[in-house]
């Protein structure tokens, strides 16, 4: 096939490369000219995706992957179009469809009869059928479900391990009609491979969920579940702090029973997905009080971590406090919706002088994100925000002035912190 992938970000580019590995020719589209230049040179525009560099270079050298800024032209030469354009929500949970609408209108101008359009970007329920398919019809003069086909098929991968996740998890598909769904299933069966999963009740592969709406809800539901579960774990942890119980011991014990899957508490829930998609779900279903309460519980955790620090340290006014980790999770170079920002904000509000360090970011990069990089200034307290593996080796000797450490991820080794008051959430 000739395939067009719209948006060559941390999901779109690896997907494009995966499709070439199955023998298909791919044109990648991105509005950022620098991204297009790098991809055409066989260079990934971002680091950290295992296996991407070599696979990308091989695909470009073989002539199987090219990139362009011209969406309509790329679509016009394709049999299938996969859309991975970002969709964010504002502070009130209202989706910003601007970039998705722009991309969809551009796709429509190049759309030809018989083409499959698959949206992989997480969307509110009903968006594919009620918003995007009509937009494709209006711009192309064609009829969705008759002249061309539309499905929603959510990405279900984590950056850093995307190629492994593509094989590991069933690919969910939902069409706006039965023919679209069949075309979607056939397409993904032709571009993906799947690991055997004896734990599943049916073979791993492409699963038709029956409608675009069901597939949209599946992505929102699985992500919202994680946020709610973490919110519950965080509330358990806060209670455990009150009564002097180690919550990790409790959670580990509970999870030995097969129907208990309690997640781990922590200082923050970050990234493009878990803190964002529950708000998108709430936009669809504002009466979901459980979802709203969990989101509020998780948003409050950076402030709670600073509460723990202040209770042990005393007045934070004028204190130099080092925040360890700018990334939203360990060993991933991604700062989107990271807990570092509310942590720094809360420290500042209490009169502390917060500094940030992260082994995955230079001082200049941290400063570009509005953070104050630590350049050797005296600090007397620290908060661990990201669970980088390197932090397991840290010790009190690395921070001779630090009197109190709040480990927000239970990453540090307590044996290495003799002489420092080390505090964990729920412990």
Specify the pLDDT at position 222: 97
244-281 residue pLDDT tens: 999 999 999 999 999 999 999 999 999 989 999 999 99
- What is d(CA 115, CA 76) in angstroms, rounded to the nearest whole number? 9
DSSP β-ladder status, 171-175 and 149-152: antiparallel
Determine contact, residues 64/26, Cβ cutoff 8 Å.
yes
DSSP β-ladder status, 88-89 and 80-83: unpaired
Calculate the average pLDDT of the chain. 97
Specify the pLDDT at position 88: 87
Q: Among candidates 419, 383, 384, which has minimal Cα distance to 403?
A: 419
| Residues 6+ positions from 179 with CB-CB distance below 8 Å | 145, 149
pLDDT at 376 over 90: yes
Local confidence band at 65 (pLDDT 50, 70, 90 cut-offs): very high
Average pLDDT over residues 35-63: 97
Return the H-helix or E-strand segment holding 355.
strand 353-357
Local confidence band at 285 (pLDDT 50, 70, 90 cut-offs): very high
Local confidence band at 283 (pLDDT 50, 70, 90 cut-offs): very high
Specify the pLDDT at position 48: 87
Local confidence band at 80 (pLDDT 50, 70, 90 cut-offs): very high
- What is d(CA 288, CA 227) in angstroms, rounded to the nearest whole number? 13
**Owner of token pair 């840290």:** 394
pLDDT at 93 over 90: no
Q: Give me the residue spans of the domains in the chain.
A: 2-213, 245-427
Specify the pLDDT at position 90: 87
Average pLDDT over residues 89-99: 90
For residue 24, the tally of other CB atoms under 10 A from its CB is 19
Determine contact, residues 204/252, Cβ cutoff 8 Å.
no
Specify the pLDDT at position 91: 78
Specify the pLDDT at position 261: 97
**Is domain 245-427 in CATH 3.30.70.920, yes or no?**
no
pTM, two decimals, is 0.94
What's the CATH fold of domain 2-213?
Rossmann fold (3.40.50)
| Residues 6+ positions from 406 with CB-CB distance below 8 Å | 267, 305, 306, 308, 309, 312, 381, 382, 383, 384, 423, 424, 425
- What is d(CA 281, CA 220) in angstroms, rounded to the nearest whole number? 6
β partners of residue 67: 28
Fold identical between 2-213 and 245-427?
yes
Q: Among candidates 424, 158, 408, which has minimal Cα distance to 298?
A: 408
* pLDDT-above-90 percentage for the chain: 96
- What is d(CA 53, CA 59) in angstroms, rounded to the nearest whole number? 10
Largest CA distance in the chain: 72
Local confidence band at 138 (pLDDT 50, 70, 90 cut-offs): very high
- What is d(CA 59, CA 166) in angstroms, rounded to the nearest whole number? 18
Local confidence band at 345 (pLDDT 50, 70, 90 cut-offs): very high
């Amino acid at each position: 096939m000739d395939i067009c992938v719209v948006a060559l970000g941390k999901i779109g580019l690896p997907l494009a490369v995966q499709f070439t590995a199955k023998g298909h020719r791919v044109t990648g589209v991105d509005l950022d000219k620098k991204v297009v230049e790098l991809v055409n040179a066989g260079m990934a525009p971002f680091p950290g995706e295992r296996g991407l560099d070599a696979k990308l270079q091989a695909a470009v050298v073989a002539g199987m992957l090219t990139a362009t800024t011209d969406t309509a032209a790329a679509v016009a030469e394709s049999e299938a179009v996969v859309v991975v354009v970002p969709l964010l929500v504002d502070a009130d949970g209202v989706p910003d469809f601007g970039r998705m609408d722009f991309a969809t209108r551009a796709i429509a101008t190049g759309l030809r009869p018989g083409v499959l359009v698959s949206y992989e970007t997480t969307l509110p329920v009903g968006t594919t059928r009620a918003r995007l398919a009509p937009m494709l019809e209006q711009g192309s003069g064609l009829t969705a479900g008759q002249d061309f086909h539309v499905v929603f098929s959510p990405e279900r991968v984590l950056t850093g391990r995307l190629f492994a996740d593509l094989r590991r998890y069933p690919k969910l598909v939902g069409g706006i009609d039965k023919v679209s769904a069949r075309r979607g299933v056939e397409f993904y069966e032709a571009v993906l491979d799947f690991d055997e999963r004896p734990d599943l009740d049916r073979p791993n592969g492409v699963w038709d969920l029956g409608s675009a709406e069901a597939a949209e809800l599946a992505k929102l539901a699985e992500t919202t579940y994680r946020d709610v579960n973490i919110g519950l774990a965080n509330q358990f942890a806060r209670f455990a702090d009150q009564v002097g119980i180690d919550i990790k011991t409790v959670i580990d014990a509970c999870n030995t029973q097969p129907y208990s899957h309690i997640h781990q508490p922590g200082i923050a829930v970050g990234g493009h997905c878990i803190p964002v998609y529950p708000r998108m779900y709430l936009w669809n279903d504002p009466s979901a009080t459980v979802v709203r309460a969990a989101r509020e519980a998780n948003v409050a955790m950076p402030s709670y971590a600073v509460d723990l620090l202040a209770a042990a340290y005393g007045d934070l006014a004028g204190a130099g406090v080092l925040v360890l980790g700018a990334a939203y999770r360990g060993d991933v170079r991604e700062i989107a919706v990271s807990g570092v920002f509310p942590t720094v904000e809360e420290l500042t509000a209490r009169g502390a002088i917060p500094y940030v360090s992260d082994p995955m970011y230079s001082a200049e990069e941290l400063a570009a994100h509005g953070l104050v990089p630590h350049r050797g200034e005296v600090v007397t307290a620290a908060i661990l925000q990201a669970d980088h593996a390197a932090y397991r080796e840290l010790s009190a000797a690395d921070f001779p002035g630090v009197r109190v450490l709040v480990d927000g991820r239970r990453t540090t080794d307590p044996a290495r912190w003799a002489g420092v008051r080390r505090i964990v959430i729920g412990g």
